Chain A
């Protein structure tokens, strides 16, 4: 590795993952708030638990990627299954939202 990367690319990518995690946190909190709005119900609690799990899954993917980017000077490209996992968590959150809206 030749000195520091002038574009700070890994750093910027790490921060992009952090921003995205933050966005998914907002959505998960909105889901929980929406689910428990009318007092605790079976569906409400289930949706709340599922969105908490989805958020946790997203957090794990992001954390894994952030530590990979931080560990190596010349990081490898994102693995497609991690990208797909992040997208599927997002889609599942949207499905939770659909359940709540209907």
Chain B
């Protein structure tokens, strides 16, 4: 968690990133930026999914509806925060000429989305029968 806190300061300070290493080819920075934007869109899609669960499954029991919606919204928030954090780390690694940071986040997010999807199928089928 400490490296994360150190990175949070970098989120706001453009000059601190430029203090070390050398500026990489601008095309690498732009590719990093596009990856960041793709993660941000993923986050927005998860948030939109939270709205959709709330809006389009009104017959669901309150606890299930709110639980699924909150799970999607929370994963959207996590995804957005992680997007900027990963972008900063990749930018730093490129300046220092190090390897790009590895991450377990894509796996965790895939598993979480799979669990929510299965839960939704089960809940909707159970809702029809009940």
- From residue 20 to 76 of chain A, which have CB atoms closer than 8 A to chain B? 20, 23-24, 26-27, 30-31, 33-34, 37, 74-76
B1-44: contact bitstring with A at CB < 8 Å (1 yes, 0 no)? 00000000011111001000001001101111110111011011
B contact residues, total (Cβ < 8 Å): 44
Q: Using known A-B contacts A13-B33, A20-B41, A101-B54, determine if residue A80 contacts B17 with beta carbons closer than 8 Å.
A: yes
Q: In this assembly, does B45 line the interface, its C-beta being within 8 Å of a C-beta of chain A?
A: yes
What is the CA–CA distance of A80 and B89 in the complex, to the nearest angstrom? 11
Taking a contact as CB atoms under 8 Å apart, the answer to whether B81 and A23 are in contact is no
What is the CA–CA distance of A102 and B27 in the complex, to the nearest angstrom? 44
Taking a contact as CB atoms under 8 Å apart, the answer to whether B70 and A94 are in contact is no
Taking a contact as CB atoms under 8 Å apart, the answer to whether A91 and B80 are in contact is yes
Taking a contact as CB atoms under 8 Å apart, the answer to whether B44 and A23 are in contact is yes
| Binding site secondary structure of chain A | helix
Q: In this assembly, does A12 line the interface, its C-beta being within 8 Å of a C-beta of chain B?
A: yes
Residues of B within 8 A of A77 (CB): 23, 26, 29-30, 32-33, 91
Taking a contact as CB atoms under 8 Å apart, the answer to whether B12 and A24 are in contact is no
- From residue 70 to 102 of chain A, which have CB atoms closer than 8 A to chain B? 74-81, 83-84, 86-87, 90-91, 93-95, 97-98, 100-102
> What is the distance, in angstroms, from B50's C-beta to the closest C-beta of chain A?
5
Taking a contact as CB atoms under 8 Å apart, the answer to whether B12 and A84 are in contact is yes
Kindly report which residue of chain A lies nearest to residue B44, judged by CB atoms. Answer: A23
The 24 listed contacts between A and B (C-beta, < 8 Å) are A9-B30, A12-B30, A13-B37, A16-B33, A16-B34, A16-B37, A17-B37, A75-B30, A77-B26, A78-B87, A80-B11, A83-B33, A83-B84, A84-B84, A90-B47, A91-B81, A94-B76, A94-B77, A97-B50, A97-B51, A97-B69, A98-B70, A101-B66, A101-B69
